[in-house]
Structure 1
Amino acid sequence: MSKIHVLDIELANQIAAGEVIERPSSVVKELVENALDANANNIAVYIVAAGREEIRVEDNGEGMSKEDAVLAFSRHATSKISSKFDLFHIKTLGFRGEALPSISSVANVELLTSQGDVGTLVKIKNNVLTSEVARSRKGTIVKITNLFYNTPARLKYLKADYTENANTIETFTRLALAHPEVAFSLYIDNKLRLETSGRGDLKETIMNLYGLHVAKNLVPFSYKTPDYEIEGYLGKAELARSNRYSIIVNLNGRNVYMPKVQAAIIDAYHDFLAPTRYPFVVLNFKIEPALVDFNVHPTKKEVRFSKETELRLALIRLIPETLLQTDLVARPYQSEPFIYEKKAEEKYEQLTLKFEDSVKEKESPIIQERESEVLPQRPLEIKKGDDSVIKSPFLQPIGQLNLTYIVCEDGEGGFCLIDQHAAMERINYEHFQDVLSKPKHVRSPLTPLLIDLTAAETQLLTKDKLELLLTVGIKLVPFGINSFRVEEVPIFQKGYDEELYVRDVINIAINENELDLTKLYREAISSMACKASIRANQFLSISDMKNVIDSLSKTTNPYTCPHGRPVIIRFTKYELEKMFKRTGT
């Protein structure tokens, strides 16, 4: 007797549901995508008890005939594709014909639909399908109840209500961002939680979903080639997150995961955010369907794009250029005003401030300017830049705070704080970039330099990586089994620690599995710029401060250090008056 047999349709659908329907948010995604494919421009989602009891999706799309409404619950029944050619030119969100049969195999379903005349009501309860004529407006209403009633293990796997609701909100948010031309509304336990206008304005949609603060800190981004178009918004540093979930990429109206694109966005923000922070980005891509393969993952979440490398390089170049076209000077953190309710029985004593007549210099206020003889330091070396690249407003240094921050008047009634170490990092970083871009930027080490590695490290230092090291001025020649002789190092500045630089860069090359020229170049220069810069707790004279400000204003990106920390924070006249309650006086 044969051991192999064909599974019955009910069991096959339940297996498919295990891949497609993981939780209530998966149901919402599939049903909303069906509504979008039906050309709906108004979609409402209702959730009861985190989706365990009921999920309802209403749309004003094209609707279905009675025959199509019944056939839609058959496995692999779809109106989206009809041939192999269509599979590689997909223009819809769904195409496999798995969603409705998968959902109906693990829940009870009611589908009410109409094309504008006679409506149809299809019910599936305990995997038994019935249909009847019903009155309905044009569009479709799908109601899901008792989700996972026949798969107790899956039901037990669901998280707490607030967690499942959060997943549903996240799914709903990404669908709305991918389709700003559609009006969406989400109700959870009969309360309206999210709503968009459907006017086609992506920034308005972001404001509806994330609030005014996010919308005010966005920079528009657009790029177009013959193969693809990109429209969206880049978040400023104020919107940085602790995880990468706010990097939202939509492709042809579908929220997708593209690892190389996400990595490119993070790399492009390298100069603007700290290493542990991630940007808020919403980008909508329109790509010729023939260049994209959506049939990779069961949920169609991950896709492949034939020109992904080209796209990655474009993003790494264009995102910094776009961000630098706007004002990126950091602002002080704003907190809610403290309101104290005075009690009748409380009594107050007059506050008296006592000042000593004779104050020693070391006890003087934190903001100070001293004669250079008091605290001798080595001369501050500033590398001059191109005089034509001045972006900052007029800044006049007036002192130093904690021997770390330069205090400046901004010429408009406010003041700025400049982190002297971060500023010099930025100045040196761009100076070293200029050095490495010149054809003759290397020389032999001042003293013979030999680098010893472990056997494992030698294996990881491949020929390709040795060639990449040449681009940052380091030429290594094998010298024994696990040793290399350094023949060339870059000419950065007089007296820098050549061995420390070489070892740092080699360590970067060894520990990165997928190392490219851009990343190695950036990391090498960042490491050198940090070590060559003045430190905190170092005294600067007024003339030194002026040199720092002058050189900083000539850099391409005076707003952040190479590691993404802010260089300058500005307190405007308006913000100061607001803090002291002087607005309007």
Structure 2
Amino acid sequence: MPDLIHLLPDNIANQIAAGEVIQRPASAVKELLENAVDAGATRIRMIVQDAGKSLIQVIDNGKGMSETDARMCFERHATSKISGIDDLFKIRTMGFRGEALASIAAVAQVELKTKRAEDTLGTYIEIENSVVKIQEPCSWSDGTSFSMKNLFFNIPARRNFLKTNAAEMRHIVDEFVRVALAFPDIFFSLTSNNEEIFHLEKGTLKQRIQQILGNNYISKLVSVTENTDYLNISGFVGKPDTAKKTRGDQFIFVNNRFIRSAYLNHAVMNAYQDMIATGSFPMFVLFIDLDPSQVDINVHPTKQEIKFEDEKIVYAFVHAAVKHALAQFSVAPSLDFDLDPAIQQLDAVSKPITEAKLNETSAGNLFRTFTQKYQAHKVEPASNMQDWKQFFSKPETSYQPSLGGVETNNYSARQQPDENESALFPKNRKPGLPVPDATQVMQVLNSYILFRVPSGLIIVDQQAAHERILFERFTGFSNSSAITTQKLLFPITIEFSPGDAAVFSEILPDLTNLGYHIEPFGKMVFIMHGTPSDLPSGEESGVIEHILEEYKNFNPDIRCGKREKLYRSMAYARSIKSGTILTSGEMVEMIRMLSECNFPNTSLNGQQIYVDYTQDFFDRIFGRR
């Protein structure tokens, strides 16, 4: 019989290997940007089309490559960073495996232009399906241009598994931001579909954070600096009042390499204990610099998961450094002129004001309009102000949380809800869950509702019940377009990180159908003009951040469409959580609305919402049967 085992052709072997390294366009973005950084570039420009599916191009002014190196870089395991096994334990560069370019060339059409400063002509190479089509001299400036076109053109099945352009662009932006934050001394730009998204001039880390994450952090960053014999920690964390419902603004770098580490994230979160609300996440950009021999970065193909030789000591140092920084920060507002050094050269800053200049300024019309005497809104004191305290007195009725848009105040005056409060739920079928009155219900552990029924006892999970109610509410609104929007007296500005902004733009049309009136205002800023009428005042921004966080971290085991995913995320975000105290009237109203749902006993995660304990159950517990 003939032999059965044979070697795979190089192009097929490269395609198989590419599945580990190049999983989506963002994977190629990471590898190409890291190569440009390793080349010593001071200016890096990235251009993408159709979220990287049609084109990803990275242009740098680094040292370039010779003709031989330009050809060799596409071979598997070809690298200039490792010569022996010992080099694996002292890696300081970003890329080192020598698989990235070979993998990209196996699944895309590639064009490379490169030139060294000492060469007269550069080198042009065109590769398709791991086969070199063209190699010739070319005219090019110092540096390298790498173009990757038509990703997965030769693997249609892999291309079909790519997400929408908005989703893939979010991953590209995330990778771009991570590299740009790690190297603030390098100019970066990102252009998508002929529109420049980022233009990041080189500067300090604080300037780069402002450029990427927004102006909200200008005066709310706390510097972290801790130098020890074992490791050095530097960077910035946000003051407690900047905590958000989303995790987007959290970055940890080890030797300038972005990593994912739930362990170190927990160290930072622990440092904020009792400073921020439960469910909120602080902003931090932290750099850990330690001996490469103390860390293994070769445990995952993406190199974003690493292993420390001693995780406990790193955890302790990170926790102590953040805790120490937060203990020292000043809450006093301050002006930070470091963000623009040119301001310091202005006459208003560098030259003292003279007496003559002071008199000239105070006599002008501009000065007069800012004095209290000349302000248009100035109100003269009234002669009788005896009742001024009544203006600030609390109303007699206290606010209670809303259950899916139904007001829950004054339940003592009415035990049964009005007919129009449940217009979203069908009235023509018999409820599957009996509805008690206010004297029959009680709350246990601030999480479960108990009430007696003729057959025994029913226990309801209040959070799961409210999630089910809200989900069917949103589904009903979607189908009937019967939702009402409450206009805000003062519009609210919401600023997201670049990745979050891309996700939010994707779900914005569906949010509009659910009563939110939100408009984009720039690349990462949105203006909220209206909210659903049942949303409590003061919770507008928090609810949006919570919805976005739930949407981003949606359970991957639940298979559903984008719209249903959003409805589920909104139900999770807006539901009354376990631990919330409810009045007897609110509990009755929740059970009534649950009884009118289409699936009153199945939570959004497929678990039971309520359990009915009959006499047989109690007889078995106490041994009567």
Would the TM-score normalized by the shorter structure come out above 0.5? yes
Closer, same or farther: CA 358–193 of 1 in aligned 2, 3 Å:
closer
Question: Are positions 1:193 and 2:193 aligned together?
Answer: no
Matches within 5 A, 1:483-562: none
* Mapped contact 2:11–2:129 kept (Cα < 8 A): no
Question: Are positions 1:9 and 2:10 aligned together?
Answer: yes
Shift of 1:106: 0.6
Rounded to whole Å, the distance in 1 between the matches of 2:129 and 2:236 is 46
Shift of 1:49: 1.2
Deviates more, 1:91-100 or 1:232-241: 232-241
* Mapped contact 2:18–2:104 kept (Cα < 8 A): yes
Amino acid at match of 1:146: N
Task: Please point out which of 323, 328, 333 is paired with 1:325.
Answer: 328
Shift of 1:103: 0.4
Question: Are positions 1:142 and 2:146 aligned together?
Answer: yes
Which residue of structure 1 lines up, in the alignment, with residue 303 of structure 2?
A: 300
Per-residue deviation, residues 158-210 of structure 1 (Å, max 9, x unmatched): 122122112111111111111111111111111111122123x0000011112
Shift of 1:56: 0.5
Question: Are positions 1:26 and 2:48 aligned together?
Answer: no
Matches within 5 A, 1:123-162: 123-129=126-132, 130-162=134-166
Question: Are positions 1:213 and 2:216 aligned together?
Answer: yes
Closer, same or farther: CA 311–126 of 1 in aligned 2, 3 Å:
closer
Shift of 1:321: 2.4
Shift of 1:366: 4.4
Rounded to whole Å, the distance in 2 between the matches of 1:156 and 1:357 is 72
Rounded to whole Å, the distance in 2 between the matches of 1:49 and 1:62 is 30
Helix, strand or coil: the match of 1:56? strand
Closer, same or farther: CA 46–364 of 1 in aligned 2, 3 Å:
same
Closer, same or farther: CA 119–240 of 1 in aligned 2, 3 Å:
same
Closer, same or farther: CA 358–123 of 1 in aligned 2, 3 Å:
closer
Which residue of structure 2 lines up, in the alignment, with residue 167 of structure 1?
A: 171
Shift of 1:328: 4.4
Per-residue deviation, residues 449-508 of structure 1 (Å, max 9, x unmatched): xxxxxxxxxxxxxxxxxxxxxxxxxxxxxxxxxxxxxxxxxxxxxxxxxxxxxxxxxxxx
* Mapped contact 2:124–2:135 kept (Cα < 8 A): yes
Structure 1 residue runs without a partner (length 5+): 331-355, 369-399, 405-534, 536-585
Shift of 1:43: 0.4
* Mapped contact 1:219–1:234 kept (Cα < 8 A): yes
Shift of 1:90: 0.8
Which residue of structure 2 lines up, in the alignment, with residue 270 of structure 1?
A: 273
Question: Are positions 1:54 and 2:55 aligned together?
Answer: yes
Question: Are positions 1:72 and 2:76 aligned together?
Answer: no
Which residue of structure 2 lines up, in the alignment, with residue 504 of structure 1?
A: none
Which residue of structure 1 lines up, in the alignment, with residue 282 of structure 2?
A: 279
Rounded to whole Å, the distance in 2 between the matches of 1:195 and 1:250 is 22
Which residue of structure 1 lines up, in the alignment, with residue 108 of structure 2?
A: 107
* Mapped contact 2:233–2:321 kept (Cα < 8 A): no
Rounded to whole Å, the distance in 2 between the matches of 1:92 and 1:127 is 26
Helix, strand or coil: the match of 1:93? coil
Structure 2 residue runs without a partner (length 5+): 334-383, 400-580, 582-625
Shift of 1:314: 2.1
Instruction: Note the aligned Cα RMSD (angstroms).
Output: 2.9
Rounded to whole Å, the distance in 2 between the matches of 1:286 and 1:33 is 18
Shift of 1:310: 1.0
Closer, same or farther: CA 401–319 of 1 in aligned 2, 3 Å:
farther
Matches within 5 A, 1:366-515: 366-367=392-393
Rounded to whole Å, the distance in 2 between the matches of 1:244 and 1:65 is 43
Rounded to whole Å, the distance in 1 between the matches of 2:255 and 2:291 is 9
Closer, same or farther: CA 320–152 of 1 in aligned 2, 3 Å:
same
Shift of 1:301: 0.7
* Mapped contact 2:243–2:282 kept (Cα < 8 A): yes
Question: Are positions 1:289 and 2:286 aligned together?
Answer: no
* Mapped contact 2:74–2:101 kept (Cα < 8 A): yes
Which residue of structure 1 lines up, in the alignment, with residue 85 of structure 2?
A: 84
Helix, strand or coil: the match of 1:185? strand
Which residue of structure 1 lines up, in the alignment, with residue 498 of structure 2?
A: none
Amino acid at match of 1:173: V
Helix, strand or coil: the match of 1:317? helix
Task: Please point out which of 233, 237, 241 is paired with 1:230.
Answer: 233
* Mapped contact 2:225–2:321 kept (Cα < 8 A): no
Helix, strand or coil: the match of 1:216? coil
* Mapped contact 2:222–2:236 kept (Cα < 8 A): yes
Which residue of structure 2 lines up, in the alignment, with residue 239 of structure 1?
A: 242
Question: Are positions 1:40 and 2:41 aligned together?
Answer: yes
Helix, strand or coil: the match of 1:79? coil
Helix, strand or coil: the match of 1:68? helix
Shift of 1:327: 3.5
Name the % identity: 39
Which residue of structure 2 lines up, in the alignment, with residue 453 of structure 1?
A: none
Shift of 1:233: 0.3
Helix, strand or coil: the match of 1:153? helix
Which residue of structure 2 lines up, in the alignment, with residue 501 of structure 1?
A: none
* Mapped contact 1:367–1:402 kept (Cα < 8 A): no
Rounded to whole Å, the distance in 1 between the matches of 2:249 and 2:59 is 28
Helix, strand or coil: the match of 1:177? helix
Shift of 1:401: 12
Shift of 1:288: 1.0
Rounded to whole Å, the distance in 1 between the matches of 2:248 and 2:214 is 17
Amino acid at match of 1:268: A
Shift of 1:72: 0.5
Helix, strand or coil: the match of 2:113? strand
Closer, same or farther: CA 294–358 of 1 in aligned 2, 3 Å:
closer
Rounded to whole Å, the distance in 2 between the matches of 1:197 and 1:163 is 27
Rounded to whole Å, the distance in 1 between the matches of 2:385 and 2:137 is 96
* TM-score normalised according to structure 1 size: 0.56
Closer, same or farther: CA 197–357 of 1 in aligned 2, 3 Å:
closer
Per-residue deviation, residues 496-527 of structure 1 (Å, max 9, x unmatched): xxxxxxxxxxxxxxxxxxxxxxxxxxxxxxxx
* Mapped contact 1:111–1:123 kept (Cα < 8 A): yes
Shift of 1:402: 10
* Mapped contact 1:366–1:402 kept (Cα < 8 A): no
Rounded to whole Å, the distance in 2 between the matches of 1:53 and 1:123 is 16
Deviates more, 1:53-62 or 1:208-217: 208-217
Rounded to whole Å, the distance in 2 between the matches of 1:264 and 1:327 is 22
* Mapped contact 1:230–1:283 kept (Cα < 8 A): yes
* Mapped contact 1:366–1:401 kept (Cα < 8 A): no
Rounded to whole Å, the distance in 1 between the matches of 2:332 and 2:157 is 53
Rounded to whole Å, the distance in 1 between the matches of 2:149 and 2:396 is 64
Shift of 1:296: 0.3
Closer, same or farther: CA 401–365 of 1 in aligned 2, 3 Å:
farther
Rounded to whole Å, the distance in 2 between the matches of 1:146 and 1:222 is 45
Shift of 1:213: 1.1
Helix, strand or coil: the match of 2:177? helix
Shift of 1:287: 1.4
Shift of 1:281: 0.3
Rounded to whole Å, the distance in 2 between the matches of 1:308 and 1:158 is 35
Per-residue deviation, residues 87-145 of structure 1 (Å, max 9, x unmatched): 11111111110000100111000000000222000110243203111111110000111
Matches within 5 A, 1:571-582: none
Helix, strand or coil: the match of 1:230? strand
Helix, strand or coil: the match of 1:242? coil
* Mapped contact 2:241–2:276 kept (Cα < 8 A): no
Shift of 1:364: 4.5
